[in-house]
Amino acid sequence: MMPLANTDYMRFTFMCKKQKPSQRIDKEIAIIGAGPSGLAVGGFLACKGYDLTIYERLPLPGGMMVFGIPEFRIPVDRVLKGCKELEEVFEVKFETSCKITVNDDRLLGDDYCKKKVDLDKIVNGFDAVIIATGTWNARGLPAEGSNFKGIFSALEYLFKSKSFKLGLLPKKENLKLGSNVAVVGSGLVAVDAALNLLEEGHSVKILSIENEFDAPSGSFEIRKLKKKGAEHIERTVIKRVLGEGKVKSIEVISVDAEVKNGAVLKMEQIPGTERIIDDIDNIIVGIGQSPTPPFNKEYKEINTYRWGGIEVSDKHMSSKNKVFATGDVTTGVTKIGRAFQTGLKTAQWVDRYLQGTI
């Protein structure tokens, strides 16, 4: 999934085989967000000898690799060792618990921020800025009763579970879930949540529009879930959440769906297929996230697409001078490998921009 030096840690500086460049380039670069895309940019440009500062609002770098994806997929230690190499060998400065923002919108995990710095101050203070802030807005459940207690996004569940395991969240602030949990969605986020729930001893029903073969996470992941004891209820959505302000059971309905490459092109509920599933304590919703640039809608200096992603040129430049953007904040949720690749491409354009060759 990621370039590794050995089985021990992730090497963000694999381009220069761990060798610190003999000459420094007298240009200062700020990277906003220390997820895979920001770290890929950092690794590439550190190999070239640039002076780099990576700003991260959470207390540790790594983005979703540390705060979203469960430990059984990516050990946190491997990511942090790679970051340590960037810091100690390549002199990359990490400013953690520091949010860069204009007209702040609150994000999951912002409680960990100790400092906020205005985006324009960063833009004015550096030769180039790369925004790599990911997708931290989770989509809600599109069903009646979606405001009931006991419903959480998969992102919040996984974020809190990881923060607790990292010793950052006290036990009393972690989510308390009942024995029977319904997970909605069949992408990697929903699957990760379901696997984590099974590991924590919950009984899991996973409901999805997709069947095993067109699930965006891939049939292998769904089969793995079933092998571990989850029940997959495919081609089914939740119509209504039932209970008195708190989830107790769900009314579900079967659907006809056309799915291509993990995207639902058409979906229709099938009348008469409604049924109740009783004894549901919690619902975990993993049906997508939207991009979270370091500014809100009021900020007009950087163009965004209607779906919220930062608009970039083929050279990964935003509409604002010397500001580039990369990773999931420009594409929507992808995968680690893709975020990493986008970061490497962006870094090459940043290098050419600073060398005056574009």
Ligand X SMILES: Cc1cc2nc3c(=O)[nH]c(=O)nc-3n(C[C@H](O)[C@H](O)[C@H](O)COP(=O)(O)OP(=O)(O)OC[C@H]3O[C@@H](n4cnc5c(N)ncnc54)[C@H](O)[C@@H]3O)c2cc1C
Rounded Cα distance between 30 and 324, Å, is 10
H or E segment at 86? helix 76-88
Q: CB of 80: closest distance to ligand X in angstroms? A: 13
Q: CB of 7: closest distance to ligand X in angstroms? A: 18
- Cβ proximity to ligand X: between 247 and 333 the closer is 333
Q: CB of 203: closest distance to ligand X in angstroms? A: 21
Write the CB contacts of 175 (distance below 8 Å, at least 6 apart in sequence): 152, 156, 157, 160, 161
- Cβ proximity to ligand X: between 188 and 241 the closer is 188
- Cβ proximity to ligand X: between 64 and 277 the closer is 64
Distances from the Cα of 316 to the Cα of 9, 12, 124, 259, 322, angstroms:
28, 20, 19, 30, 11
- Cβ proximity to ligand X: between 169 and 253 the closer is 169
Q: CB of 31: closest distance to ligand X in angstroms? A: 9
Q: CB of 319: closest distance to ligand X in angstroms? A: 18
Q: How far is CA 195 from the centre of its chain?
A: 17
Give residues in contact with ligand X (CB under 6 A).
32-38, 55-58, 63-64, 68-69, 73, 99-101, 132-134, 136, 154-155, 158, 188-189, 192, 292, 294, 327-329, 333-336, 339
Q: Which residue is nearest to ligand X (CB)?
A: 35
Residue 76: Cβ within 10 Å count? 18
In this structure, what token pair is assigned to residue 213? 């073969």
Residue 33: Cβ within 10 Å count? 31
Cβ pair 101, 118 in contact under 8 A: yes
Rounded Cα distance between 332 and 325, Å, is 12
- Cβ proximity to ligand X: between 207 and 255 the closer is 207
* Residue whose C-alpha is closest to residue 133's, from 94, 107, 170: 107
Q: CB of 121: closest distance to ligand X in angstroms? A: 13
- Cβ proximity to ligand X: between 188 and 255 the closer is 188
- Cβ proximity to ligand X: between 56 and 234 the closer is 56
Q: CB of 268: closest distance to ligand X in angstroms? A: 29
- Cβ proximity to ligand X: between 132 and 204 the closer is 132
Sign of CA dihedral 77, 78, 82, 85: positive
Cβ pair 241, 145 in contact under 8 A: yes
Q: CB of 311: closest distance to ligand X in angstroms? A: 16
Q: CB of 278: closest distance to ligand X in angstroms? A: 28
Residue 264: Cβ within 10 Å count? 16
* Residue whose C-alpha is closest to residue 295's, from 270, 326, 262, 329: 329
- Cβ proximity to ligand X: between 285 and 339 the closer is 339
Rounded Cα distance between 333 and 315, Å, is 20
